[in-house]
Amino acid sequence: MGPRKAYSSLSMSALNDDIRRSLLTQIKLTQPNDEAQQPSSQPETTISKTDDHGDRPEYSNISYWQHRYTSNSQDTVFEWVVTYENTLLRSLIDSFINSVCSKLSHESQVKFLHPGCGDSTLGVDIINSDSLNVNISLDNSDGSEVVIEKMKALHPQSTWLVSDVLAPARDGHTIYDAIIDKCLCDAFLCGGVEADKLVKVKEYLKHCSQVTTDSGRMIIISFGQPESRMRFFQQEDGCGWNKNIKVEEVVIPLKDGRKNKCWLYEFTK
């Protein structure tokens, strides 16, 4: 496993109705290498009624994230909703990765993309995982160059790229075998009008389809339950993906004994 992380607090963002309903949680991580603060299996929990950045942030706008990451301390990172330490999520991610790898007869590494990585260490944790025994590469990417520079400095052994997933894939873009999204697509579904959200998710799904192989696969880990997500994921012709999407529910135990949930949506072509 990679460097141990110290979980200092967990706060709930309540930024709009969708998030309020979904009990969106954020886990604030500090001092990633501080051995004095051992991570607990479940992070300490504090719940606040408002987000750190006001009432209605524009999560789908990269300039919002640039500002947010510029304002945040450079050694403080946030992990949205759930971490790889969640046993169920971990087993689902591992089995997805194993399944992608086993269906390919690659002599070279199987290529994964972790878009909208923010300052999540999910990609680092997967690469350092002792529960996986596969030959993979993983590119972490985000639309905010501020957070990418920060993560490069914190985890120089991993790959960090600046990339806008709402832009059409450019010629020569790396083609991946699979994509792992945690809470990036959620950012397009927080606030705004339905028509804009439909367009953004459509552009996003198309982009993901363009940057994956013909047998490409994708998981989207989301705080949104299927009733609030499927109409976005099953638009028109599927935007390059099969409309038959597998859904898994992930229970997230909180330290105070309550439980939260998120969902893992698995796309194939």
The burial of 105, by beta-carbon neighbours within 10 Å (0-12 exposed, 13-18 middle, 19 or more buried), is given as exposed
CB 44 within 8 A of CB 7: yes
We find the least distance from the C-beta atom of residue 169 to ligand SAM, in angstroms, to be 12
- CA atoms of 125 and 119, how far apart (whole Å): 12
Comparison of 147 and 219: residue with beta carbon closer to ligand SAM: 147
- CA atoms of 33 and 155, how far apart (whole Å): 11
Q: Which stretch binds ligand SAM (CB under 6 A): 1-9, 10-18, 140-148, 191-199?
A: 140-148
Give the residue, chosen from 5, 28, 111, 182, that forms a contact with ligand SAM under the rule CB under 6 A: 182
Q: Give yes or no for residue 118 binding ligand SAM (CB under 6 A).
A: yes
Q: Give yes or no for residue 150 binding ligand SAM (CB under 6 A).
A: no
Q: Give yes or no for residue 116 binding ligand SAM (CB under 6 A).
A: yes
Give the residue, chosen from 65, 160, 232, 233, that forms a contact with ligand SAM under the rule CB under 6 A: 65
We find the least distance from the C-beta atom of residue 91 to ligand SAM, in angstroms, to be 18
Give the residue, chosen from 120, 140, 158, 260, that forms a contact with ligand SAM under the rule CB under 6 A: 120
We find the least distance from the C-beta atom of residue 108 to ligand SAM, in angstroms, to be 26
Q: Give yes or no for residue 117 binding ligand SAM (CB under 6 A).
A: yes
Comparison of 80 and 233: residue with beta carbon closer to ligand SAM: 80
For every residue of 75-143, which 3-state class applies, written as one string? Answer: CEEEEECCCCCCHHHHHHHHHHHHHHHHCCCCCCCEEEEECCCCCCCHHHHHHCCCCCCCCEEEEEEEC
How far CA 207 is from CA of 6, 135, 165, 168, in Å, comes to 35, 25, 6, 6
Task: Say if strands 76-80 and 25-30 run parallel, antiparallel, or are unpaired.
Answer: antiparallel
Under the rule (CB under 6 A), what is the footprint of ligand SAM?
A: 62, 65, 78-80, 115-118, 120, 142-144, 147, 164-166, 182-184, 186-187
